[in-house]
Chain A
């Protein structure tokens, strides 16, 4: 959620080799647009700063005008004039429905009122478990200490569909994460440590992962990560090369729709004119 360990300086590559559309876009813009399209109108989402926020705002300004945005510090239903730098700053309550408490938002999620959430982290495994706590083999002596759960464990435990937006490389997409900060499908279905067995609410869990290479979901039986869409110019082999565990591939892999000129216009002119997210 509200950490920035993913912040890697991406060059603004022009990924567009596609000749049937004249619009040039970068990786970040493609990821924001893909994330926005996952969010439905008249649904609720808990967002963080950065990409999730840009995605939520873009969804509102395109297909989902009545998407309700929540921030974990208590901002509920704002009409964001600009992107916050903190999930608890005053932007998160601008023209909001409520300025409430952290627990109120968490309780709503626990009650089953929140459809989507976004989570980030340093490592993710095939079941969508996420590490944002530490790198190393000894908890008491971390090689690298990260912020910890923040609200991530809460949101991924309680919201219906968990989305992850991140860059795609072998350091992130690992065989085994060093610390399970936030639950994905844990050890997978029908194990002693499935979501159901540990007591997590029914109808919750990882939903999709959007990276700079592809879009993945989780296969219905194994709950393992599966590639369902490749970004223009990206091959399946390339996605596997950048993943340290074996990915599943859907039978009919789609090509990710590129950003429309309308989406790009809104993103660049209205949502992120100073290029805080899309300029990364």
Chain B
């Protein structure tokens, strides 16, 4: 049994990315109003370096940047620090490459209602990954704090639990009321990878439906790589600026990757491919089958399109579109 928390004032987890306001303010975001179109492999080569801190946008299996994640595995990136902010299939992909060795945990190793990933569990149980515990709200507050340019935010989460004990949060007292809060430290990842519905060549992004924490994450991160379902004109963005979720001055690279959230869900476009996700979970039951599966779908594919083709291509996407629009139902 883990020693249970007494009324401690400070978590003992490591803060993998201590935040300093002035350093953060001095980081140069790519403010240039230039064409940022590039390729998946070039963007990963340039911005994701071994040992860097990586965060993923979306919500585990929803609006995820699959092409970028596969490329991180393909390029064999190692020793990353990973933000496990409701990470499900995205976590599963990075585990396949054993890409990270430190993780801020809010939600890992599971795929929600689909079950647990055996290989992700094994990886975290192997001792290869150093972890610090948080919660979904805590990690979202960490992005928010960095997005706001403050070194922490007070919140009423984590208090009194082992989640607090193994976090890097501290207890703080409100100077006005004397009330107790968890002080949640700001987090500024080196790189965020985010998939969106539309972007122009400068990096202005439209997200339809749930934003999750992505506007905050883009503002908080040092570098942001965007994949988009569709490239639109800058005029299109300027016609309805209230739809811009991420502005170009936060973005470093833009790559059009239609169907890029596959096998995840893309709101209004296509539902998650539950069949493929189950195949993945099943393959994880046996080490040899698993290695062959990862080789086939990630390591031996040259890019995302080849992967999509292996999974049924546009025909499959059309079926998932029918599911998304509730024309045909084969998922719950």
Residues of A bordering B, CB below 8 Å: 2-5, 7, 49-50, 72-75, 81-90, 92-93, 99-103, 106, 110, 129, 133-134, 136-154, 157-158, 176, 178-183, 186, 192-193, 195, 197-201, 272, 274, 276
Q: A4 touches which one: B110, B213, B324 (CB < 8 A)? A: B110
Q: A86 touches which one: B133, B162, B181, B272 (CB < 8 A)? A: B272
Q: Are B162's CB and A179's CB within 8 A?
A: yes
Q: Which residues of A contact B58 (CB under 8 A)?
A: 88
Q: A181 touches which one: B141, B163, B211 (CB < 8 A)? A: B163
> Please, how many angstroms separate the alpha-carbon atoms of A74 and B161 in the complex?
25
Q: Are A88's CB and B86's CB within 8 A?
A: yes
Chain B interface, DSSP helix/strand/loop, else mixed: loop
- Interfacial residues of chain B within 85-143, with CB under 8 A of chain A in the complex: 86, 88, 105-116, 121, 124-125, 127, 130, 133-138, 140-141
Q: Say yes or no: A147-B210 contact (C-beta < 8 A), given A7-B115, A137-B1, A180-B163.
A: no
Q: Say yes or no: A142-B124 contact (C-beta < 8 A), given A88-B62, A88-B212, A149-B134.
A: yes
Q: Which residues of B contact A129 (CB under 8 A)?
A: 161
Give the 5 A-B residue pairs with the shortest CB-CB distance, closest first: A199-B180, A88-B59, A198-B160, A154-B137, A147-B110
The size bracket of the interface on B is 35 or more
Nearest B residue to A84, CB-CB: B332
Q: Which residues of A contact B297 (CB under 8 A)?
A: none
Closest Cβ–Cβ distance, residue B20 to chain A (whole Å) = 23
Asked if B274 CB lies within 8 Å of chain A CBs, one says yes
Q: Are B209's CB and A181's CB within 8 A?
A: no
> Please, how many angstroms separate the alpha-carbon atoms of A99 and B63 in the complex?
14
Q: Say yes or no: A82-B332 contact (C-beta < 8 A), given A49-B113, A87-B112, A102-B212.
A: yes
Closest Cβ–Cβ distance, residue A23 to chain B (whole Å) = 24
Asked if B38 CB lies within 8 Å of chain A CBs, one says no
Closest Cβ–Cβ distance, residue B331 to chain A (whole Å) = 6
Q: B88 touches which one: A86, A99, A142, A145 (CB < 8 A)? A: A86
Other A-B pairs beyond A183-B161, A186-B161, 5, CB < 8 Å: A82-B329, A88-B58, A90-B271, A106-B140, A144-B125
A-B contact pairs, 17 of them (CB 8 A): A49-B112, A73-B86, A73-B212, A81-B326, A86-B62, A88-B58, A89-B61, A90-B62, A93-B267, A101-B210, A147-B110, A154-B157, A157-B159, A158-B137, A199-B181, A272-B332, A274-B332
Asked if B144 CB lies within 8 Å of chain A CBs, one says yes
